[in-house]
Structure formats: structure tokens, C-alpha cells
Chain A
């Protein structure tokens, strides 16, 4: 590669590399700047909630009718009499190093309690995400391709209707339909993958579908919008005029620029998926994360609840950062101009 070097100046190649890495670092910085406050605020709110609740381990560990001094001694043992910010920062430090505290209900480390359950919830949410992406894309692309025809209208109305259906209602209807009436799929329970893909799938598919509706609808709508607008752009004409085939123009040029709104919307949908898991797990009797949260909340097991909430916050933050990185790789011009 021919490089002209002016004495002392870096070669053109390394200039490019420096420029690119600076851009990348800029992107990462911006992401951190956006998400660190979210994490801090979220964790603070979580911890505050626990403190405000005024709950203490006594009912769970000592039972009712414990003497005041016993309660007080217990509180001290759990460090609950220390000043608020003292407790907060200790807790935050623990969280960041992986220690999620101990459950008041059974003294076990919360992280152990959550381990197995996380897989279950993430399976359902993950599959729901996958369904959302695949079907959302398919529907959105369909609507855009047949823009303004009856296909477009049907898909639009369909996705609008779907988005109003809350996951737990869909779940109930699905159970009624597939499990009770048609006896096609099991109504409840979870079977881990180690027992075979089939059983796992048949147990997880209904909850995942119930969770996915909202995502399918939003992804479809955003993709349709993105495609309709991208199709009109000049660079599509440019590619066509250079003699590239219709398929290539669509997949390499149009789609690449059209997907960003739909990918961005995934980031917004993820919290909804996690939230929806709470109810869906109850309907389908999956002993996941959401069910754990509900139980712990009802029991008044503050550390467990706090742990669940803060993990949820972390998951959302990580997922969103991931989505942002993908977006940046697809459409780098999004990072310019800031």
C-alpha cells in the first residue's frame, strides 16, 4: 500500500485507525454517560423503597409476638440501624461485586436463590424477543412491500390490535385454547432443556408467545415506517442504477438503514418483557424470577426484593447498551453530529 510520509507525521493508515478508535471510544463514553445515571438512580430508588417500607426481618425470622428488644437486636445484626446512606453505599458496593444480600426468609444468599430461576425467566423473555423480532420483521416487511394495498392495511390493523392485548390476557386465552380445549400444549410448568428440546419448547412456547405480542406489534410498525422511508431514499436509486439486483438492493442497502427504529424499539420493549414475565410466570406456573419477586414482596423479604429489582435494572441497562452498539455498527452516521 503506497503511503506518502511527511517527515515525522504518522502514516495515513495509522491516522485512519486513530480516527476510528477515537470514534468508537466516543460511542462507548456516550453510552456510559447515558446509562450510568439510570443505573444509579434505579438502584437508589430500589434501595430507598426497601428503607421506606419500614419492614424488618423480625416477622420472617422471629415470628409474631417477638419482644421489642429481640427485634431491635435483629435489626442491628442486619445492619439496619446504620444511617441511610451508609447502608446504601455498602449495599451498592456489594451489588457491584456480585453479592446480592441474604434473604430474610431463609438466610440464603439471594444470588443462589435466583440462579436457577433466571434461566427460566430469560428463556421465556428471550424466546419472546426472538418471536417478536422474527414475526415483527416479517409483518413489517410485508406491510412495507405491499404498501397501501389491503395487505398493508390488514397488517397495520392487526398489529395495532395486538399491541393492546396485555400478556396475561393473551396467556389465559392461549391456555384456554391450546391446553384446555385442544390439548395440544401443556398449560403450566417448566422443563429444562437438558430433558430434550421438544418438552422444553412445548412448555415455554405459550408463555413466550403471550409475552411477545407487544414486541411483534411495535417492531412491525417501526420496520414498516423505516422501510417506507428508506425505499424513497436516493441511495436506493443509486444502487439500482448501478445495476444491482432488487434482492441485493433490499437486503444490503434498504434494510440496513431501515432497521434502526425497530432495533431501537427493542431496547424499549425489554423492560416490558421483564415486567410481563412477572404475570406470565404466575399464569403458567413457571418458577422464575417474576414469581420469586412476587413471593418475596408479599412476604416482606426486603433484600430479596431489592436484589430482584436491581438485577432487573442492570439487565435493562446492559441490554440497551448492547442494542445501542448494534445500532451503531449498522448505521454509523447516527453517531455523527453529536
Chain B
């Protein structure tokens, strides 16, 4: 009798562990020449190689499994040059999620270094900004819905909602045309090359103190001025340092197609 109870329980635990270890499903995207909403001075379009992206952001349960396997990423062990003091601060303890971090919610309060290390441990990497922007250009039916004002409004509506509410679970949204979920409307996400987004806050300031801040032609500008959602994301990512964490910044992994 006891055994009969224990067995399903054990199976459930094993299934949860397998789910946590395996992480989100991978979705294959074909790539190609993509027109970014950003205006790069060196190229009109960016070429994106075929890649795979995780279907939804990494969850607390998945990140906990990573921290347990790699204790140097526990919040009480982590090097302060790799994650700031707020790293995983919403967890009940260094290895217990607790009420403020439900297993299926996307993990937040993670630094770029920690997110990169997680993906590396899965044999993957963070997506590049271009890969992310390309995947996120789709709505539920169209691979590039960016010119549709109604869709833009929908995305912007999320940005205007207060972020002090509890985060929904990852993987609840209808997949976009590629089969990817939660690119909008859940959390902000790290990209591998977030620090290549050289948006100059200094345009507001005149003067020579920052004359040399950007070597070369300098800061990015927008090619598509109507695309406020992309503008906001770029502004947010460009304001971060790699150690930073925030209460609504998570990540998902990508990998090259072999």
C-alpha cells in the first residue's frame, strides 16, 4: 500500500526532474536576410543562419536544477563580478524557490553571466539580438507582423502594464508563427550580444567628455521609428551591465543547427 503511494510519487518527482533537466523544447528557425528595426551603419539587412531557439523562457525549476549541479552559481557562492547582490534574491534560500518564485514561472534576477553559463551547460548559448528580433517579429499567424499597427499596439499594451504583479507561468501564450512562445508580454530577455547595442544616452549631452565613448561611426539609430517596442527593448538592454539583474529580466537559450 505504502509502496503503491510511493511509486507514483517517485515517478512524478522523476518526471519533474527530467522536465527541469531537459528544459523547454527547441524550435527550429530557418533564418535568412532579415530587416532589423535598427539602423546599422554597415548593413541594410542582417544575415541570420538557421538556428534553434527554446520555445519558452527558462523557468525557476530549470534554473534551480542548474544551480544545484553547478554550486558556484548559488547566490551565496557566486562571484560578485559575475552577478550583483540581487541575483536570485527572490528565491526563499540559495537552493529553495519558495512562494515568490514558482517552479514554472520564468526565472528572473539573473545576470548575463549566469544566463550564459546556464545555456553553456545545456550545450547552447544565448540568442543574438538579431536572432531574438527575428523570432519576435512574428505574431500567431505571420512570420513578420511588424507592419501591423494593431499588433504593435498589443505589444505596447504589455509594456504599459505595471510590472509589480506576479509573473504568469512560462509557456501559456499561443505560439507565434514559428512555434515560439512568450517573446512578448512575459519578461525581458538577455541576448548574447546585448553589449553590442551601443545606444548613446549621451546624445542628450553635448560636450567632449564622451567624444571617444564609441570608436567608429557610433551609436545605433532606428530604421523603423514606429517600432517603439523594439526601441524600448534595445534601450533597456543597452542600459544594462553584464552583472545586472532585474525583477522582469529572464532569458532563453539558442543553439546553432548542426
User: Are A and B genuine complex partners?
Assistant: no
Q: Which B residues have a C-beta under 8 Å from some C-beta of A?
A: none
A interface vs B, CB < 8 Å?
Answer: none
